[in-house]
Structure 1
Amino acid sequence: MKRLQHYDAPPDGGWGWMVVLSSFLSHVFVVGGLKSFGVFFPYFREEFNEDAANTSWVSSIQGAVVFFGSGVAGALGNRFGCRPVVMTGSLVAAAGLISSMFVTSMASMYVTTGLVTGLGFSLMYTPCITMVGLYFSRRRSLATGIGLSGAGVGVFAFPPIFQLLIDNYGWKNALLIFSGIVLNGSVFGALLRPLHLKSTLRPVKVENQESDHEEQAIGLCNRVSNTFGLYLLKDPYFAVFSVCQVLFGFGAFVPFVHLVAHARDLGIEPQPAAFLVSVIGITDMLSRIGYGWLSDSGLFVRMRGYTVCVAGFGLCHIFVPFASTYPSLVAYCLFFGLFQGCCACQVAVILADICGVKKLGSAIGLCYTVTGLALLFGPPMAGRLFDVTGNYKVSFFVSGGLVLLSLLLLLPLEIHRTVTTRKDQFPDAVDDVDKDYRVIKQINNIDEPENDSDILTSELSSPFIDMETTV
């Protein structure tokens, strides 16, 4: 029998680059397809004779389920392995797309295209990000950025492809062809070879068989908490960052649902309007790779750079109501893709900094789950504002305002990190800094806590102390 190979640390290369390829392809199909579904938006409205708000729920449910299901996908990946979860997800997503060909009402589209396809996408998405984080340490930002850059490729490629397929075969057959593309997830899912780290091996415990019902109930609650990572909510830094992601999500998905319709309302032809989403994909792809490399270089603090990019992202939305020509919309898309790519490639890296690599799967799943709230209600909210006002100006104003609101939470985190880091300059603060460093190292190398008391013994004053030197 072949003996499993256990690594002392992430290999930072080798088969890890095949895992990065798998993550890249996952983002091409999942994120690219998800964010390009706005091309179908006008045809869904015409087919089912629905208003913008009701039609928006198709993409909203799909995007929300992708993120809501991240917690489940992370738990399934921990239990059964990432490889079978991703391969199963491709089958589920393809089944949902094929079923959408036979629906006769918008409510049915909510189930097939929204719920079923979204669930399949979720199973394909989260495990790939987690595996990249496990295979890389020193070059984690670069590897994550390369993997996530597939989203930009998908966003660039799929809108004109979808429009071409719709023009020649109709929207139903376009979904059928896309389902065949999604089935390739079974191929790249097979690339996710499991990685066994020595530090993740759990000691075998011998327990007394006798226990009362109260102990059994507590044990069950602890197992549920550990499986889905609910204990992470006790970490104030993780909780605040997750809330920021919710506010960020209100602006992240609105353009991909409503931008094509907004452009067509301005008198732009369907094919050029669909190409606007592709323009977003160009800078999105380049920024994910480039910003990931810069983040690993140590030229700036990750959280500080992320905060600046969120500010730029929100200001892009504020600009849309003043963009009434095609060149101005192209300029908006270029900057929108730039800031979105920079923000997106840092989420998993910052979560690894906060929670540690071994909790990364649970952290990503839980963070993306709460982000699903914004994806669920953001586009319908923008659609309702369109139905009331007759244009999308207010929709983009509100979306940008919610993104900028997240700065009120991010700025205190960055200020606290800066103040804590400056303690290094004073001799009497050395002991405190060393203590924080030891706590960070301990959190990144111990198993998930078995109960709530374990959480309380590992409080961390600041997880952002010189991340470039501690991770």
Structure 2
Amino acid sequence: YQPDQTDGVPLGVSLVTADGQTEEAPSSELWSFRWALLSMLPGTVNGYLAGYIPTITKYQGVSLDEAALLVTIMGCVDMVSRIGFGFVADAHILTPSKLLAIACIFLGVICHLFGFATSFVTLVPVIVVIGLFIGARGPMGSLICIEVVGARNMPAAFSIMSTLNTLVGPTANPIFGKLAEVTGSFVIVMHVIGAGYFTCAGCLLLLPLFVRLDAKHGRQK
């Protein structure tokens, strides 16, 4: 993904001074980058969903062998979909933040409908949809950093984003585990995960507003 002038994304992060000169502005000073960091946090539920699919599907009534087959299906679909997301991002059809927002919306919907899938046959289409979109978060993270801070500042910005997500993501595991233990199923957990996806999508769709806010306050593209 290489942003161009038609994308409406920053090609660099510069601050216009009072004398008309430009100087480098740290990524952390950009409201768009701060919002991008905040937007990605609810989506850390993605890691839990990807890692616990075998356990979650077994609670829905399938055998261990069927759960393993569902994971295989998800992995195969995920592999193909990642290539597809790459082509779409490279074609500049949508910005990375909008692509990830769309993926989160689909994942949120399927998580809220998950309770209706109580057999292997009904779980297959659910797993296919999850496989189509669950892999979008990883590659889109770095592209969203390019979208808000530019390619030159992406490594530093992405390291901050990755560190924050790594610290926040695992905190959900014991909470979701306890919730599943108390309720006796993962249905409520899936509703919470779905809410996380919807929150992430909503925040990402607002990201262009913060990009324009930075531009309004003198940060050039």
Normalising by structure 2, report the TM-score. Answer: 0.78
Larger mean Cα displacement after TM superposition, 373-382 or 288-297: 373-382
SS of 1:391's partner is: coil
Displacement of 1:393 after TM fit? 0.7
State whether structure 2 residue 214 is matched by structure 1 residue 460: no
Instruction: Supply the distance in 2 between the matched residues of 1:262 and 1:137 (Cα, whole angstroms).
Output: 38
Partner of 2:200: 406
Q: Quick check: 1:393 aligned with 2:187?
A: yes
Alignment partners' CA distance in 2, 1:266 and 1:313: 18
Q: Quick check: 2:101–2:204 contact (8 Å CA) kept in 1?
A: yes
> Counterpart of 2:124?
330
CA contact (8 A) 1:283 1:341 kept: no
Which of residues 66, 70, 91 is equivalent to 1:297?
A: 91
Which whole-Å CA distance do the structure 1 matches of 2:76 and 2:102 have between them? 21
CA separation of 1:364 and 1:280: change in aligned 2, threshold 3 A: same
* 2:141 counterpart of 1:347: yes
- Secondary structure, in 3 states, of the residue corresponding to 1:358? coil
Tell me the SS of whatever aligns to 2:50: helix
After superposition, residues 222-241 of structure 1 pair within 5 angstroms as 231-241=26-36
Give the Cα–Cα distance (whole angstroms) in 2 for the partners of residues 412 and 395 of structure 1. Answer: 26
Q: Are the counterparts in 2 of residues 288 and 344 from structure 1 also a CA contact under 8 Å?
A: no
Query: CA deviation digits over 1:74-101, x for unaligned, max 9?
Result: xxxxxxxxxxxxxxxxxxxxxxxxxxxx
Q: Residues 226-254 of structure 1: CA distance to partner in whole angstroms, max 9, x if unpaired?
A: xxxxx43221111111111110012x022
User: Larger Rg: 1 or 2?
Assistant: 1
Distance 1:385 1:416, change over 3 A: same
* Equivalent position of 1:115 in the other structure: none
Structure 1 Cα separation of the partners of residues 138 and 50 of structure 2: 15
Q: Name the one with the larger helix percent.
A: 1
Q: Distance in 2 between matches of 1:373 and 1:316?
A: 26
User: How many residue pairs end up in the alignment?
Assistant: 199
Q: In structure 1, the residue corresponding to 2:81 is in which secondary structure?
A: helix
Q: Which amino acid aligns with 1:406?
A: C
Q: From 103, 109, 112, give the equivalent of 1:315.
A: 109
Q: How far apart in 2 are the matches of 1:405 and 1:393?
A: 18
RMSD over aligned CA atoms reads 2.8
Gapped regions of structure 1 (runs ≥ 5): 1-135, 139-230, 421-435, 437-457, 464-471
**Aligned: 1:287 with 2:106:** no
| CA apart distance, 1:415 | 5.2
- Distance (Å, rounded) in 2 between the aligned partners of 1:459 and 1:282: 46
The answer (yes or no) to whether the contact 2:61–2:119 under 8 Å persists in 1 is no
Q: Partners in 1 of 2:168 and 2:131 — Cα distance?
A: 19
Deviation at 1:272, TM superposition (A): 1.9
Q: 2:124 & 2:84 partners in 1: Cα distance?
A: 21
Matched residue, 2:164: 370
Cα distance in 1 for residues equivalent to 2:119 and 2:218: 53
Gaps of 5+ in 2: 4-25
Identity of aligned residues (%): 20
Does the aligned pair in 2 maintain the 1:307–1:411 contact within 8 Å? Answer: yes
**Cα offset, 1:320, TM superposition:** 1.3
Residue deviations 1:325-371 (CA, integer Å, cap 9, x gap): 11222211111121223343222112122222232222111101111
Letter in 2 for 1:249: T
**For the Cα contact (< 8 Å) 1:315–1:400, is it kept in 2?**
yes
Whether the 8 Å contact between 1:246 and 1:373 is mirrored in structure 2 is: no
Partner of 2:94: helix, strand, or coil?
A: coil
Q: Distance in 2 between matches of 1:304 and 1:137?
A: 16
Question: Partner of 1:357: helix, strand, or coil?
Answer: coil
| TM-score (normalizing by structure 1) | 0.39
**Match of residue 243 from structure 1:** 38
1:184-228 CA distances to partner (integer Å, 9 max, x unpaired)?
xxxxxxxxxxxxxxxxxxxxxxxxxxxxxxxxxxxxxxxxxxxxx
Higher relative contact order (CA 8 A, sep 6+): 2
Shift of 1:459: 4.8
Q: Secondary structure at the match of 1:253?
A: helix
Contact 1:247/1:374 (8 A) holds in 2: no
The 1:247–1:330 alpha-carbon spacing in structure 2 relative to 1, beyond 3 Å, is same
- Cα distance in 1 for partners of 2:130, 2:181 equals 25
Task: Measure, in 2, the Cα distance between the counterparts of 1:411 and 1:300.
Answer: 12
> Cα distance 1:137–1:308, how it changes in 2: closer, same or farther (>3 A)?
closer
Runs of 4+ displaced beyond 4 Å = none
